[in-house]
Structure 1
Amino acid sequence: MDRRARADWGPEQQGERRTPLSALCHRDGRVRHRALAEAAGHPELFPLVVVRCADWAEPVRRRARDLLAEILDAGTAVTLAPMILRVAGRYRGEHALGLLDGVLRQAPRERLAPLLVSGDRAVRRFAYRLAVEEGSLSPVELARAATEDDDAVVQGRCAEAALAGGVHAEVAEILLGGRNPQARSAGVTALRRLGRPERAVEFLADRSALVRACARYVVRQHGIDPLPWYRTRCADPGVEPGAAIGLGECGERADAPLLWGLLEHPEPGVRARAVAGLRRLDVTDVRRLRPLLDDPAPGVVGEATLALLPSARALPEEWLLSRLDAGRPRWERVSAWRLLDAHGDVVRLRAAVPLLGDPDVRLRTWAGHAVRRVVHRDPRALRSPEVAALLDRAGAVGR
């Protein structure tokens, strides 16, 4: 803001009338200092008063801080909170934050309400921290905030605070119904203190790894082994995707046949999580996993690619290069690149050069990085005639 105003009010415009806004952003500290006297009665200038609280000139800084202390009340605090929190990250910016903190701690609870629903994530984090420390929200209100806010920091803080004073069934149920893993995992963990392991069993197949881990912890604390449950679910045609990956997370290599049997399941999510479960069990069979690279579901192809990366050299190079063809689905091309990249330097370069002019930005960027890595290596690495020829082609594409 300062730079923009200074650009508008350069030396060639010194003869023109200066506005209070431009004066508050002037390069001369004496001008900024005088302008602060005019700002007191103009709420539209208050954000610049906040900026001047971190001014590099001490007289300006001191006067701005005195003025902010005068104008900051419960009403202006709500309006100025976003700017104060931004300035707080500057050198000497913490003073304004201290004033905001003090005013809001003394303000009626309802004054915090607009900040709790602010579109500014930093403002919501600040407001919820304040509400938790001051105890101005009930456990039920905190639990609802944990389930409804889209920021992970707010979710975690509110979920923890909702359970801090003791676990109530209503609070736990609200958390268990949350869309985000932070809330659900807190609710599942609370079931241990409520003595309700049977409710935790319902979350053993949750879509979130964090929630599944918490559910396993709770049932184990009550003497229940989750492994037989996972085995039973994976043998059922109605298996959930979370059960397939859950078996991989806590099972044994002897459980692999159950997961191999799910690779032809009609649900793409089950197929993808079954592959992920096999990877967790460190069970790989290139012959059986290779057909999944042609699966119609991108998620299955992605998981199969991850599982095959350690064995990428066992896949034919020419076959993988053909899968980079522009007519193929994007996820198949990305999969082929990742597997070719794992083959090593020369194969990576063979794959990269044709992609330097590719319309897909991501593939084109990866290819460019691969070529530059070779160019910036030890010159001895460039002695291969094939590598030299590929780099000549790459230069021709780049021209």
Structure 2
Amino acid sequence: MRATAQWAIRRASRNPATIYRNALAADPATGRARALIAGLGECGTHQDVAALLPFLEHPSPRVRAEAVRAVRRLGGSLTRIAGMLADPAPVVVRSVNKALRTEPDAVPTARLWELLAADSPPHVRLGAYEQLRQKDAWTRVHVDLHLLAARDTELGNRAHADLINWSRRGTATAYRTPTGEMALRLGQLIDAAEPLIGAKQAHQLRWILSIG
């Protein structure tokens, strides 16, 4: 519907982004904020990011999630978006994860491990897990094995499925062997996870990682 409206406005020789900007500036707390933010994100420019940033702190989770999408689409600060991985609303964290999907270095690895801690909300842990998986091949294997070795009830099944998928299809992305410290850590995690993944997969992983 927005696309049709924007087309009609352009046909009338008007700029839809101007309409969205003026409406948000006139009454930023309006119930139409989410739709206006989405529209501005679709046809605005990088100069509109400043006007959208305050909406990243809006009380409505859906407005915050829409603001994340709009800011990312217009080339806004990844650092500001990445800081919302601990947002209390699952819909916002999902939006952040999607925005950072092609930016594996946007969040420091140490911060992601902190968010993965067992005392974090489930949706925050899932978001941190998804971001860790995107870091590099060995971090992906590390986090999968870590969750399995810890007998993680929330993410263990997901980690096992991902580890199997990596073993079958993703090993080509492992261009270099892990460092000595990482290799040692992975070997320990394979030993701890073997009762869950089975001797055959454990042997395969040791072979892939050249640590067995």
State the TM-score bracket (shorter-chain normalisation): 0.7 to 0.9
Check conservation: 1:269, 1:299, Cα contact below 8 A.
yes
Is 1:223 aligned to 2:19, yes or no?
no
Of the candidates 332, 352, 369, which is equivalent to residue 124 of structure 2?
A: 332
Counterparts in 2 of 1:393 and 1:372: CA distance versus 1, 3 Å:
farther
Once superposed, what is the RMSD of the aligned Cα atoms?
A: 2.7
Q: TM-score, normalised by structure 2?
A: 0.75
Rounded to whole Å, the distance in 2 between the matches of 1:214 and 1:388 is 58
Match for residue 186 of structure 2? 390
Structure-1-length-normalised TM-score: 0.42
Q: How far is the alpha carbon of 1:383 from its aligned partner?
A: 6.4
State the distance in 1 between where 2:135 and 2:124 align.
17
Distance 1:250 1:243 in 2: 11
Query: How many Å separate the matches in 2 of 1:257 and 1:243?
Result: 15
Given the superposition, is the C-alpha separation of residues 221 and 311 from structure 1 closer, same or farther in structure 2, using an over 3 Å criterion? same
Q: Which amino acid in structure 2 is aligned with residue 271 of structure 1?
A: R
Q: Would you say how many aligned residue pairs link Structure 1 and Structure 2?
A: 187
Name structure 1 gaps, 5 residues minimum. 1-210
Per the alignment, do residues 267 and 215 of structure 1 end up closer, same or farther by CA in structure 2, a change over 3 Å counting? same
- Give the superposition deviation at 1:273: 0.5
Of 133, 142, 154, 1:350 maps to 142
Q: How does 1:223-372 map to 2 (within 5 A)?
A: 223-235=13-25, 236=27, 237-238=29-30, 239-286=32-79, 288-356=80-148, 357-360=151-154, 361-370=157-166
Query: AA paired with 2:110?
Result: E
Cα deviation, 1:312-355, whole Å, max 9, x if unaligned, reads 32422122112222332222112111211222122222212112
Partners of 1:327 and 1:349 in 2: CA distance? 22
CA 1:270/1:218 → structure 2, altered by over 3 Å: closer, same or farther? same
Q: Is 1:214 aligned to residue 4 of structure 2?
A: yes
Note the C-alpha offset of 1:367. Answer: 4.2
Unaligned runs of 5+ in 2: 196-212
Identity %: 31
Instruction: Give the Å deviation of 1:368.
Output: 4.2
CA distance in 2, matches of 1:266, 1:353: 37
Q: Deviations over 1:34-86 (max 9, x none)?
A: xxxxxxxxxxxxxxxxxxxxxxxxxxxxxxxxxxxxxxxxxxxxxxxxxxxxx
Contact 1:352/1:368 (8 A) holds in 2 = no
